[in-house]
Structure 1
Amino acid sequence: MRFILGLMTLITVIGISSMAHAQAASNDRYCLQGRGWGFPGNCQFATRQQCLVAASGTNAHCGLNPRYAAHRRT
């Protein structure tokens, strides 16, 4: 009985984790990139327009998040 309960808990945790990862992946498609940022940059932008607004007036640019781009290839 404990084994089954533990297994169900593990499956639930894995399911929640994968859903959270999928949600996070859709919110970080674009990265603010430039000298002030490490690689891949500040990847908190869901749209390119959001990233461009944040980059406005700075010496930064926007690029596709490499994690998102790699995920799209598979």
Structure 2
Amino acid sequence: MRLSILALALLASLATLTFSSHVQAAPNDRYCLQGRRWGIPGNCQFATRRQCLAAASGTNASCGLNPRYAFSRRR
């Protein structure tokens, strides 16, 4: 039982570190595909606007700047 509590605590710690490290936008997710299907902020996996526009081509979606990137603190 003590081992399972330790394992659970370890998993909780790893999950916290994983999710907290993704608070700031990475350089490869500066643009988000936005639309009815994607919502806001949308599918934020595009490094360039051109990539995002290519994915949006032929759909009713648009591209916008990722809010996490736009409002992140500069170090």
Distance 1:53 1:68, change over 3 A: same
TM-score (norm 2): 0.63
Q: Deviations over 1:21-48 (max 9, x none)?
A: 5xx6101000000000122000000000
User: What SS does the aligned partner of 2:39 have?
Assistant: coil
Identity of aligned residues (%): 80
Tell me which residue corresponds to 2:67.
66
Provide the aligned length of Structure 1 versus Structure 2.
Answer: 57
- The structure carrying a bigger strand percent of its residues is 2
Q: 1:66, 1:59 → 2: CA distance?
A: 21
Say which is worse superposed, 44-53 or 34-43, in terms of deviation: 34-43
Report deviation, 1:71.
Answer: 1.1
TM-score of the superposed pair, with normalisation by structure 1: 0.64
Gaps of 5+ in 2: 1-17
| Regions of 4+ moved over 2 Å | none
- Tell me which protein shows more helix as a share of its residues: 1
Partners of 2:50 and 2:73 lie apart in 1 by: 20
